[in-house]
Amino acid sequence: MIQLDWVPCASDLAVFKTAPAPTVAPEGTTSWTIDVTNEGPHAAQAARLVDVVPSEVDDVTWTCAAVDGASCGASNGSGNRIDELLQIPVGGTATLVVTGKIGDLEGGTVLTNTARVTVADTDPDPTNNESTATVEVESWPALKLVKTANVTDISGADDQIRYSFTVTNTGNTNLDQLQINETTFTGSGTLSDITCPVADLAPATTTTCTATYTATQTDIDSGAITNTATATAQSPTGDTVTSSESSVRVAALDAPPALATTGADTDLPVAVATLLLLAGAWMVANRRKKRAHQ
């Protein structure tokens, strides 16, 4: 009797996952490439590839193409979980290209994605059955400044102006060490210190800094007070982020001269005018009497 030993099929599958670029713009599109190969010694009739794309990636789609006798269970699909059955002969390759849109994420966020392949038969080297690729969201620091005043005009020395500096973090990374910098101020007096309630700004947050100024007669004579400023802050990498300039103009109007309103100033002229009128009337009446007697 001849005794035959059963030898299980063995397929040394390997998976390689790569990203075309190490970084991606916020709310940009990225992709990954997954290659599945079989180094033998037998064909893999039911290789299973599983890849769960991070939830921060939206609108995920994928395509599958095979060469050298390999085949895909499906040529395309969508969704963040990929579960694909492949047939990979020795020397064959199946390639999946996964594409998705990055959500509105903070700069520096790292997205880690791992693909895994298994086979029903024996895999003599399971160490190459997983592959991981990472993509980092780029940091785009940005500031916006809007400067306003509580009045549009003043009319005299000692009038007060309250300035507001509204600063918004319009980027996708945290900023700290916020400062307001006066680039132009035409007032002849001294602007107060500019105070800010916070110095750190998370993405999409806003704070309002304030300062006050007391007008001088020189300001009134000049006709206006113009104020221009920028905002600066530090990014996590130590870079200085500067906003565009923002300006506000407050007109200085001359006050109209005061009118005399006291009784002493008006009663005397009126009395004199009344006496002159009476004297004139008496002289006219007296002349008429003289003519009548002649």
Domain with CATH 2.60.40.10 in the chain: 143-252
Q: Are strands 153-154 and 246-252 parallel, antiparallel or unpaired?
A: parallel
pLDDT recorded at residue 120: 86
Specify the CATH architecture of the domain 143-252: Sandwich (2.60)
If you classify domain 11-137 with CATH, what class do you get? mainly beta
- Report the Cα–Cα distance between both ends of the chain, in Å, rounded: 186
Instruction: Determine the Cα–Cα distance for residues 43 and 267; give it in Å rounded to an integer.
Output: 123
The three-state (H, E, C) secondary structure of the chain, written as one string: CCCCCCCCCEEEEEEEEECCCCEECCCCEEEEEEEEEEEEECCEEEEEEEEECCCCEEEEEEEEEEECCCEECCCEEECCEEEEEEEECCCCEEEEEEEEEECCCCCCCEEEEEEEEEECCECCCHHHCEEEEEEEECCCCCEEEEEEECCCEECCCCCEEEEEEEEEECCCCCEEEEEEEEEEECCCCCCCCCECCCCCECCCCEEEEEEEEECCHHHHHHCEEEEEEEEEEECCCCCEEECCCEEEEEEECCCCCCCCCCHHHHHHHHHHHHHHHHHHHHHHHHHHHHHHHC
pLDDT in single tens digits along all 294 residues of the chain: 555 454 467 999 999 999 989 999 989 999 999 999 999 999 999 999 999 999 999 999 999 999 999 999 999 999 999 999 999 999 999 999 999 999 889 999 999 999 999 998 899 999 999 999 999 999 999 999 999 999 999 999 999 999 999 999 999 999 999 999 999 999 999 999 999 999 999 999 999 999 999 999 999 999 999 999 999 999 999 999 999 999 999 999 875 544 444 444 445 555 555 666 666 665 656 665 655 555
Start-end of CATH 2.60.40.740 domains in the chain: 11-137
Residue whose pair of structure tokens reads 């007697």 in the numeric block? 293
pLDDT for position 7: 46
